[in-house]
Amino acid sequence: MLKKSTGNMYEFVTHTWNPIVGRCYHNCSYCYVSKYGNEVSNIQRLNSECLDDDFGDGKFIFVCSGVDLFAEDVKDGWIRMVLDKCNQDNHSLFGSKNKFLFQSKNPKRILDYIDHPVFKDAVVCTTIETNRYYPDIMCNTPTMEDRARAMNEIANRGVETYLTIEPIMQFDKDELVRLIRLCKPVQVNIGANTNGRVSLPEPSTDDILSLIRDIEDECKVEIKSNMKRIL
């Protein structure tokens, strides 16, 4: 169901909408959903009741904030139903009513749907936590290089792109900056680990500030409130 955004969500997001529920294929060790343990079903399903929601207007809606809509195991039919619902509910005689955030660690699959009209009213975002690859932490996710190259193609198709560095982990600055620039983001969101059950290799305050200085002239940088304990 459509819900007001709460907790540690992006400040620019007003609502979340999760028509697909269950375990996420990517299974990242730090995922905030994982802390709910047995409360999250291992069986992924489409919550068809959500398709009857009325979005109203004036909202910035994070679609599938709990499960990656474009993960490899999500059915094509489900993805199309979600995109169709967003697009159909979003138009009136006065134009578009809402803006949608589609965030995925598998943006390459978004390219299969990039001609869908909903992307005219949407922002596409990916997560690049670091330039380094930690297989035990990131599990089934595509490499950062794959994510960045797909985002570059999405941006070149005229779709607005954001990038999220969360939870930020130790990085090699020059290489991470290269990946950020490849994504061509309008906005970069930086956040810290909020899953107290998982310990991650975090960068120093000086390293983070140096990264911000290198990119802040090229895009808007949003520092999430959970970064206070690091910065």
Residues 8-37, mean pLDDT to the nearest whole number: 79
Long-range contacts of 129-132 (CB under 8 A, 24+ apart): 129/165, 129/166, 129/167, 129/168, 129/169, 130/165, 130/168, 130/169, 130/170, 130/171, 130/176, 131/171, 131/172, 131/175, 131/176, 131/178, 131/179, 132/169, 132/170, 132/171, 132/172
Give residue 123's pLDDT: 98
Residues 76-91, mean pLDDT to the nearest whole number: 96
Give residue 33's pLDDT: 60
pLDDT at 37 over 70: no
Give residue 14's pLDDT: 97
pLDDT at 9 over 60: yes
Give residue 187's pLDDT: 98
| pLDDT, tens digit (0-9, with 9 covering 90-100), for 122-133 | 999 999 999 999
Give residue 110's pLDDT: 98
Report the chain's mean pLDDT, rounded to a whole number. Answer: 92
Q: Are 190 and 212 in contact (CB under 8 A)?
A: yes
What's the pLDDT band for 75 if we cut at 50, 70, 90? very high
pLDDT at 19 over 70: yes
Give residue 213's pLDDT: 98
pLDDT, greater one: 6 or 41: 6
| pLDDT, tens digit (0-9, with 9 covering 90-100), for 153-199 | 999 999 999 999 999 999 999 999 999 999 999 999 999 998 888 89
